[in-house]
Amino acid sequence: MSETEASRVRNGDVSWWWRQLGGAPAPRAALAGDLDVDVAIVGAGYTGLWTAYYLTRAQPDLRVVVLEQRFAGFGASGRNGGWLTNTVTGGRERYVETRGRGAAIAQQRALNDTVDEVIAVAAREGIDADIVKGGELDIARTPSQLARLQAAVADEQSWPHTDVELLDASAAASRVAVDGVLGGVWHPHCARVHPAKLVRGLAAAVEGLGVPIYEQTRVREITPGRAVTDRGTVRAAHVLRATEGFTADLAGEHRTWLPMNSSMIVTEPLPASFWDRVGWTGRETLGDFAHVYMYAQRTADDRIAFGGRGVPYRFGSRVDTDGSTQQRTIASLAELLRTFFPDAADTPIAHAWAGVLGVPRDWAATVGHDRSTGLGWAGGYVGTGVTATNLAGRTLADLVLERDTELTRLPWVGHRAKRWEIEPLRWSAVNSIYTAYRMADRAEASGSSARTAWPAHVADVVAGRH
């Protein structure tokens, strides 16, 4: 696809997921002045809403409010790829380093259980989010990707509760017939979801429990006992930060988590003849082993939603433009989608959008609460927070209520990473990482025999992943 064609694709409007639900929801009321409560939660994405949900169910008389700068589900929670998966991008090595192998295994088990917890709560609360638990399929399309995939499977199999299965080319293709697939790995702990339906339903469930969600209310600063907004100050014994990729905008938090962009496109619905050839009957989520990896799902109405990193980072940690993405990103995602599925070449791209996620300096997610100040936080999920946000919400609830539970003993609790570098170092580091990953993907696609082309090793070192 040329950039001119890409310029004709509908772009932004937060996400296609929201567009499918009729656009941004009717706004809820903003905060109407100063307020005194027990718990103020900043951010109405999955993290903030799950936290409100579990806190209020555990202690119904607690006065909890959620403060949201735009609307519930405006952030990554209303824009993501809909992988409710037990797999997290970073973290395991850090947790082993800091808390040992047993703790890392406990974290894995908790994430497995969390996939089922989200599905169970959705059923209990009557949230229809197109959920199908068909597992996660990740494939290789070059020899280098295949070597990485095989090494990753061997590594995963050395850990309990990962339940991964190595698939040869024909077994992988019999699940999803991707052009040129050389092999795959599948595990059962993943469901496809419609992200905006999930966050919309969750917000309604939270309101149903009596928790007000104040929208169009931007928090400028968080200090012990106070969330200072542009519409008044909320005084609260506990103030919980659930702002993820937007955290850099809060006073004092500019270098805490780097805001990284991820972009998606979605096709128009594909005909039955396409699905007869491609299969994908299990609705597995689909990913690959490229360095600049892709992720996809078959939607409930038979489209392909397909994502990957476009321009990953904007100078100065600038975050969001209501979801619009660059034309060259749309063009490159469309090209990749059509290489995966040549039969979709003539199917128009219906929409493109981007979202922002939070990356800690050590790529390890964290949740915590300081009893002495009442300040709490959760986030830094890198690209995998749909499941982790629920675990974070349950954990934050336990921490605030001062309960000592299995969840509060997990290794990500209280985990801290150092801050990101100042600009322009931050910008040059992230851009060199992604330039190196792209170079490595190109080298591997053109036949580099090394298991991982060298630029990717350099990038991993710069990123702090090794």
Ligand X SMILES: Cc1cc2nc3c(=O)[nH]c(=O)nc-3n(C[C@H](O)[C@H](O)[C@H](O)COP(=O)(O)OP(=O)(O)OC[C@H]3O[C@@H](n4cnc5c(N)ncnc54)[C@H](O)[C@@H]3O)c2cc1C
Binding site for ligand X (CB under 6 A): 42-48, 67-70, 74-77, 79-83, 85, 218-219, 242-246, 249-250, 262, 264, 295, 307, 355-357, 379, 381, 383-387, 389
- When the beta carbons of 333 and 453 are compared against ligand X, the nearer one is 333
- When the beta carbons of 161 and 457 are compared against ligand X, the nearer one is 161
- Sequence-distant (6+) residues with CB within 8 A of 271 are none
In the Cβ-directed half-sphere of 456, how many Cα atoms lie within 13 Å? 20
User: Are 352 and 10 contacting, i.e. CB atoms less than 8 angstroms apart?
Assistant: yes
- In whole angstroms, the minimum distance from the beta carbon of 443 to ligand X comes to 26
- In whole angstroms, the minimum distance from the beta carbon of 465 to ligand X comes to 18
* DSSP H helical ranges for 292-371: 327-340
- Give the residue at shortest CB distance from ligand X: 385
- In whole angstroms, the minimum distance from the beta carbon of 305 to ligand X comes to 9
- In whole angstroms, the minimum distance from the beta carbon of 261 to ligand X comes to 7
Largest CA distance in the chain: 63
Angle at 213 between CA 212 and CA 218, to 5 degrees: 135
DSSP bridge partners of 138: 185, 287
- When the beta carbons of 70 and 187 are compared against ligand X, the nearer one is 70
DSSP E strand boundaries for 230-382:
232-241, 258-267, 285-288, 294-298, 304-308, 349-359, 366-370, 375-379
- Sequence-distant (6+) residues with CB within 8 A of 358 are 244, 245, 247, 257, 258, 259, 260, 379, 380, 381, 382
- When the beta carbons of 412 and 453 are compared against ligand X, the nearer one is 412
Helix (H) or strand (E) holding 103: helix 101-124
- When the beta carbons of 55 and 67 are compared against ligand X, the nearer one is 67
Angle at 365 between CA 126 and CA 248, to 5 degrees: 95
- When the beta carbons of 320 and 444 are compared against ligand X, the nearer one is 320
- In whole angstroms, the minimum distance from the beta carbon of 189 to ligand X comes to 12
- In whole angstroms, the minimum distance from the beta carbon of 101 to ligand X comes to 24
